[in-house]
Chains A and B, each alone.
Chain A
Amino acid sequence: MSDNPYLPYRARIEEIITETDDYNLKSFKLAFLNQEDEQQFHYTPGQFCEISIAGKGEIPIGIASSPTEKGFLLFTVNKTGVVTRYLHNMKEGDMVGVRGPLGNWFPWEAMEGKNVVVIGGGFAFTTLRSSIVFMLHPDNRSKFKDITVVYGARSPGLLLYKEELWEWEKRDDVNVHITVDATEDPEWQYNVGFVPTITEKKITTSENSYALVCGPPIMIKFTQPVLEKVGFSPEQIIMSLEMRMKCGIGICGRCNIGDKYVCKDGPVFSLAQLNELPNEY
């Protein structure tokens, strides 16, 4: 980052993709305006950025692209507050700011040589997409054993990155289980059922494994016992948290859980770490 950690890099919106059929989720492909900025921006899957819009403010958003994808950063944004609403109405070519990369990342060193189970629900699939793309890259695939993905949304139209999901589904170097809570689509050829239910069917061992779990609180609540049943220890269950943030660098004081700041000490925590912190998130 620059000398002033609050100063965003300049970036341009290169492409906007409407991800879901309720139009509430859009992905933004951003390109750095200055090449030097791009060259010094090194990130690892699991990290996030503050996206800055002059006059509106900043929002912390997970990086959905993988460092193996060059030339752009991808962010998928849910329309909820002041900044996200404004961003959703912006157009390709518009200027935004990017501050980051911020926070820690998934435990990639520890996961080498291990099976990796990726469990995601709804729109909490952004840094998981980054992780999957990263692991499937030819330079990295051999570092991991079996990769299994369970990803679900309420309906087919609410799944993110659909084209990629169908592609991954066909590959033989990753086991992908796509599911929806319910659908009336007679053509639907994947699973129907809640994420915890599908996880219970598909994930039968915790041996030599890590599970990356991101999703709404209700999904996490019911997935956790399923993983524990097949022997996942709290150290093997990795989660990424959200919190209201401002500075993103552990200074402004609002995103703490106990003595940890989600923006700097997180957003990635193992369940073992979370068990030692107050249940205030």
Chain B
Amino acid sequence: MSETVITREEIKEFIKSLQGSYEVFAPVREGGYHRFKQLTGDEAADLDFSNTRLSPKSLLFPQSERMFEFTLDETNEDSHILKETPKEYPPAVVFGIRPCDAKALRLVNVNFDNPEFTDPWWAKRLDSMTFIGLGCNDPCSTCFCTSVGCGPFHEEGLDILLFDLGERYLAKALTDKGEQLLGQGGFQEDADVDTRKRAGELKKEAEHKISSHVPTDKLKDKDLLNLFDAPFWDEVAFACINCGTCTFLCPTCWCFDIQDEVSKNQGDRIRNWDSCMFPLFTLHASGHNPRSEKVQRARQRFMHKLKYYVDKYGNGVACVGCGRCVNYCPVNIDIREVFKLMNEW
């Protein structure tokens, strides 16, 4: 796999040139935050960011997505019959994704594409995308990726990884898809030994800058029921207002609802992000609700990420340490504390 040196100017041109044959998604600044957006016209990516406020999961799994459409017009012979909403999956490039968010897509993929069932929309989008990651030179104080099997220059789920060396980038191809895409740039300069060394140092420095660490080593062997019944859940959930912010921001939260919406005689079956923080999530038609209390719902979120997922997939925790939930929780619930409580219990 190639390692190429690209100047800032070259990469701008490269991304622009890709827009002819790919949909290009990249971080842009909007208000005080960055978010992933499809670049159109002269719009350029803004790489002066720590991370986007929302994770890029919506590029594969939109917050609201039409699944099927139907007509209720009785004079139509296909009345009441669901048909797949026509969709296209043009080749796309996700540029500037952080390594944590790229790993998150791999963690979520085991849910949407498992040995028994494949979610067609997720799988087709994932297949259509090439991921160009941007390593983190300056992780935030709330980042704890190195504790959860990830890191500021982690390569999992990426096709190309960029090292920001100041005036130049080192672009490391990680997959055939990535190699092919880089090839389209016609970049001439192979990275020499010194540049590669510098990239390695950058990675080490970034890892060293991460000041938050969480323990995970004992989670796998913990007794599930013992953790479930632990007394600390009341304390963890005490301030929680079940707003669902954490689940919407989280790159590994994937729960969704399915609803039919009808206007006049035309209807759609739509799936929308849902949240285990909401009581309606589990409310039975009978009125019974297995998670009627907020402590049950808060426990569900943490148990799912740090125990159920661990046990089910043998794939580590369903958390990449991006720190979004820590940053944006309105009542300062800190998953790093919950890691400690669960791991030490």
Contact = CB atoms under 8 A, between A and B. Distances in A.
Interface of A: 3-8, 10, 52-58, 80-81, 84, 94-97, 242-244, 246-247, 249-259, 264, 276-278, 280-281
B304 to A, nearest CB: 7
Interface stretch (B90-98, B164-172, B201-209, B277-285): B277-285
Contacts of B68: 6-7
Given A54-B81, A55-B262, A259-B224, A250 B116 contact: yes
B286 A95 contact: no
Nearest to A276: B225
Contacts of B303: 258
A8 B112 CA distance: 19
Interface in B56-87: 67-68, 70, 72, 79-82, 84
Ranked 8 nearest A-B pairs via Cβ: A253-B255, A81-B285, A259-B308, A80-B285, A54-B70, A54-B80, A278-B228, A249-B117
A59 to B, nearest CB: 8
B81 A251 contact: no
B228 A57 contact: no
Mostly helix, strand, loop or mixed at chain A's interface? Answer: loop
B119 A251 contact: yes
A247 B111 CA distance: 12
B315 interface: no
Nearest to B262: A55
A53 B84 CA distance: 15
A249 B118 CA distance: 10
B120 interface: yes
B285 A95 contact: no
B141 to A, nearest CB: 31
B225 A54 contact: no
B188 interface: no
B302 interface: no
Contacts of A257: 290
B334 interface: no
Contacts, number: 119
23 contacts: A3-B120, A5-B119, A6-B269, A7-B82, A55-B70, A55-B267, A56-B260, A57-B259, A242-B284, A243-B284, A243-B290, A244-B284, A247-B256, A249-B117, A250-B117, A251-B114, A251-B119, A251-B254, A253-B276, A256-B308, A277-B225, A278-B225, A281-B290
A252 B70 contact: no
Interface in B223-275: 224-225, 228-229, 254-260, 262, 267, 269, 271, 274
B218 interface: no
Given A54-B267, A253-B255, A258 B224 contact: yes
B343 to A, nearest CB: 18
B256 A253 contact: yes
Contacts of A250: 114, 116-117
Contacts of A251: 111-112, 114, 117, 119, 254
A204 B261 CA distance: 54
Given A254-B281, A259-B224, A6 B67 contact: yes
A71 B262 CA distance: 32
Contact of B80 (A7, A80, A95, A243): A95
Contacts of A255: 282
B117 A10 contact: no
Interface string B13-43: 0000000000000000000000000000000
A246 B257 contact: yes
Contact of B82 (A52, A81, A256, A264): A52
B258 to A, nearest CB: 5
